[in-house]
Structure 1
Amino acid sequence: MEIMKDSETRQLSNRRINFLLWPVIAIISLAAEECKFEYPLRRYKALKEEKAESYPMTIEEVHKFLDKVPQEWKDYFIIRFWTGIRSCEIHGLEWQHIDFEHRLIRIRQNWVNGEVCDVKTPKSRRDLKMCGTIYEAFKRIKDSSESGYAPYSDFVFTGKSGAPLDTHYVSKALWYPTLIKAGLKRRRAYETRHTAAVLHIAALENPLYISQMLGHSDTRLLFDVYAPYVANASRTDGNAFDTLMRSEGFS
C-alpha cells in the first residue's frame, strides 16, 4: 500500500496498515454477526510488524546535544534524557503532577492530538523519583514561569501560545535542528527514552527500578531491547567480571 506526497512515493509501515484496517475489520465482523452472513475475512492475518531500529545516544552524544540545544529548552531535554519519559507524557504534565516536597513526577495523563487522555497502560501510571539534576531543572522551569518570562499555564511545558507542546513541533523545530548542529546521526526524538534506558543499565541501576521508571510491565523488555546497546554506552562490558576474577587470583 502506497500513498503519494510531495510528488514522492512513501510506503506505509505494516504497523500503520494494521492500525488503519483494524476498525474496518471490526465493523465487518460485527456486521457478519448481527446480519447473519459469513464473515469474509476469517483467513485474514494482520501484517507482521517490523521492529523499529533503536539508536540510543552515548553519554558523549548526550553532552554534545545539550551543548547545542537552545538554552530555554535545555531543561526540557535534560528531563527527557534523565527519565525516559514519553513525549505524550511529558507534554501532558501539569504543575499539579510535580511534587516538589516529595521530589516526585506523577505520570497521570497524556497529551495526544491536542487533547488530554489516559496514560498508555496501567503500568504507565507511575511516580518518577526526581534526582538532584531533575529537581533543579523543574525548579528553574517553575521560577521562569512565575517570573513572567514564560506564559502561565497549568501545563509545565508549553509553546508561545501557552498550549501544551506538540510532538511534531518538538521534532521539527528543536530535535532535528539540534542534531544537525551537534553533528549527530539523525534519529527520532523518541530516542531520548531509549537513551535513558541504556544509560541507566550501564550505570548498574536496579532493573526493577528502570522498568518502573519507564512504565514497563516487567524487566524482560529491558534485556530484549536495550542490552545490545549497553556496551556502547558504558564501554566497560566484562570489566567488572574480570576485576572479580583477578581479585580471586585468576589472571
Structure 2
Amino acid sequence: MDDSASRPTLPEGVRLRSGRIQIYFSRNGKSHHITLPHPVTAEGINAAAKIRRDLITKAEWGILTDNDIAHAKGDFVVDDSVIVSDGVLFQEVAQKYLKHCDANLDSKKDYVSALNKHWMPNLALVPVHLITSDMIRDIIADSEFKSDKTLNNCLVPLRGVFEKAIELRLVTPADNPMAMIKNKKVQTGLPDPFTRDEMNALLNWLDKNLEGKDRFYYWYFEVAFWTGCRPSELTALRWNDIDWFNGSVIINKSRVRGIEKQVTKTHTAREVYLNDRSKRAFEALNDLGLSTEYVMICPETNAPFYNEKPSRLRLTDAMKQTRVRHRPAYNARHTYATMLLMADVNPVFVSNQLGHSLQMLIKRYGRWIHGDQNKLEMSKLTTD
C-alpha cells in the first residue's frame, strides 16, 4: 500500500510504503530505493531525510559503498535514541564557503577540485566541530601530493572552510584545527630570462621562418618581449586599449582558459609605454586585419585564444632551431624586466610597467638592478 496521502508533508525523496519509510534518489545514472528501519514518526522521517542527504553526498563524491546502503537499510543494531549524529557536516560548510567565496572563477574551480579530490572523501560527512588537526595530518600523510606547492594550494580552500565555520560559530577560533597545520616551505626560483642575444636570435628565426598565417606569431613575440605583458593580458587586449597618439597601452583585463576577466592577475590596471619595436609590432598586427576588436586572434581558429599553447609551441620550435636553452615562453616578460633594469631604468618605472609593487620587483629582480655592477664588484676580489 502506498501511503501517498501523507506525501505532501514529507521531505523530498522520502515516502511511506506499507507503513515503512523509504528514501529514493538517482545519482550518476543509478537509482536507489532504500527502505529504512526507522519508525514512522516525525523524528524517523527527519532522520530519513538526513540519511538521504548523506547518501547523496557520498554518491556525488564517488564514495558511496554497498556497506553504506546496507547500513541505511538496517543491517546493524539500531539505536532509536540516536538516529543521526549531531552537528553541521563538513560538506555543508564547504558548500557555503564556495558559495560565498569571492575568488575569481578560475581559482574557485581549483578550490572545488582540491576539495573533491583530497578533503571530501574523508571529511564530507564528519561534523565540522569534530574534525581535529590529527585527522587532517593523517589525510595529508595518506595523500599523494605532487609537490609541497600543490599541498599548500590544496590547503587554501580547506582553511577557507574552517574560517567559514568560525564565522558561522560552528567552531571557535581556539578549536580551529587548521591553526596547527602549517604550509610547507617552498623554494622560490629566480627568474630565468633570455639574454638580449638569445632574444634577438629567437625573434630573427621567427621573422625568417614563419610565413602565411603563422607570421602572426612573430609579431606576437615582438610585443611580448618588448612590453613585458603576461600572456593572459595579451590575449585579452583590445584595439581600443591602445593609445596610438601617446604611444601606450592600457592593461586592465586578462583571459584565462578562455574566460575573460575584467582584472589582471594582480587586480591592478596599468599603462604600459611602447618603444619603437613594440609600436611597429602593433602596427603590423593591425595591418594583418585579423579582428576589429581583439589585438591577438588565433590565426588557426580566427577566435580569441583559449590559452597560450599555440604561441608557446612556436617559441619552442625557435629555441630548438637556434639551440637557445629551453625556457617557458612566459620568460619573455622576465626578459623585458631585466633589460630595463640592466639599462639602469628607474626601478619605480619598471615596477609600474610590470604591474608589480616596488618591493616585489626588488625581491624578484634584485640581482639585475645594478646591471653589470655586480660583476665589477666581484672583479675587485683577486685570487693572486
TM-score, L = length of structure 1 = 0.78
Give 2:225's aligned residue: 81
Q: Choose from 190, 202, 206 the match for 2:330.
A: 190
The answer as to whether partners of 2:341 and 2:368 remain within 8 angstroms in 1 is no
Please give the alpha-carbon distance, in whole angstroms, between the structure 1 residues aligned to 2:150 and 2:375.
37
TM-fit CA distance, 1:229: 4.8
Give 1:121's aligned residue: 266
Deviates more, 1:93-102 or 1:27-36: 27-36
SS of residue paired to 1:62: helix
TM-fit CA distance, 1:11: 6.4
Greater relative contact order: 1 or 2 (C-alpha under 8 angstroms, separation 6 or more)? 1
Please give the alpha-carbon distance, in whole angstroms, between the structure 1 residues aligned to 2:350 and 2:193.
16
Deviates more, 1:113-122 or 1:100-109: 113-122
Give 1:175's aligned residue: 315
Deviations 1:207-246 (A, max 9, x none): 111111111121x333332243578x7699549xx9xxxx
Does residue 204 of the first structure (1) align with residue 344 of the second (2)?
yes
Q: Choose from 147, 166, 170 the match for 1:36.
A: 170
Give 2:193's aligned residue: 56
Give 1:246's aligned residue: none
TM-fit CA distance, 1:138: 0.5
Please give the alpha-carbon distance, in whole angstroms, between the structure 2 residues aligned to 1:225 and 1:40.
34
**2:228 partner amino acid:** G
**2:340 partner amino acid:** H
Give 1:27's aligned residue: 161
User: For 1:76-155, what aligned pairs fall within 5 Å after superposition?
Assistant: 76-117=220-261, 118-122=263-267, 124-145=268-289, 150=290, 152-155=291-294
Deviations 1:105-148 (A, max 9, x none): 110100111111111224x3111111122111111110111xxx
Deviations 1:26-59 (A, max 9, x none): 1133235536343222201122232034211111
Does residue 225 of the first structure (1) align with residue 370 of the second (2)?
no
The answer as to whether partners of 1:15 and 1:50 remain within 8 angstroms in 2 is no
Give 2:152's aligned residue: 18
SS of residue paired to 2:288: helix
SS of residue paired to 1:42: helix
Taking a change above 3 Å as real, the CA distance of residues 13 and 194 of structure 1, as seen in their structure-2 partners, is farther
TM-fit CA distance, 1:175: 2.3
**1:19 partner amino acid:** N
Does residue 67 of the first structure (1) align with residue 219 of the second (2)?
no
Please give the alpha-carbon distance, in whole angstroms, between the structure 2 residues aligned to 1:208 and 1:76.
26
Taking a change above 3 Å as real, the CA distance of residues 227 and 31 of structure 1, as seen in their structure-2 partners, is closer
Taking a change above 3 Å as real, the CA distance of residues 73 and 170 of structure 1, as seen in their structure-2 partners, is closer
The answer as to whether partners of 2:253 and 2:264 remain within 8 angstroms in 1 is yes
TM-fit CA distance, 1:78: 1.3
Please give the alpha-carbon distance, in whole angstroms, between the structure 2 residues aligned to 1:52 and 1:22.
22
Deviations 1:73-127 (A, max 9, x none): 12211111112111111111011111112211110100111111111224x3111
The answer as to whether partners of 2:250 and 2:271 remain within 8 angstroms in 1 is yes
The answer as to whether partners of 2:248 and 2:273 remain within 8 angstroms in 1 is yes
TM-score, L = length of structure 2 = 0.53
TM-fit CA distance, 1:61: 0.5
The answer as to whether partners of 1:198 and 1:227 remain within 8 angstroms in 2 is no
Please give the alpha-carbon distance, in whole angstroms, between the structure 2 residues aligned to 1:179 and 1:129.
28
**1:154 partner amino acid:** E
Moved over 6 A (4+): none
SS of residue paired to 2:180: coil
Deviations 1:150-180 (A, max 9, x none): 3x25211111222222223322x22222211
Q: Which runs of 5+ in 2 are unaligned?
A: 1-143
**1:12 partner amino acid:** K
Computing the radius of gyration from Cα coordinates, the structure with the larger value is 2
RMSD over aligned Cα atoms: 2.6
Taking a change above 3 Å as real, the CA distance of residues 94 and 188 of structure 1, as seen in their structure-2 partners, is same
Q: Which runs of 5+ in 1 are unaligned?
A: 1-9, 243-251
Please give the alpha-carbon distance, in whole angstroms, between the structure 2 residues aligned to 1:73 and 1:137.
11
Give 2:49's aligned residue: none
Please give the alpha-carbon distance, in whole angstroms, between the structure 2 residues aligned to 1:41 and 1:59.
47
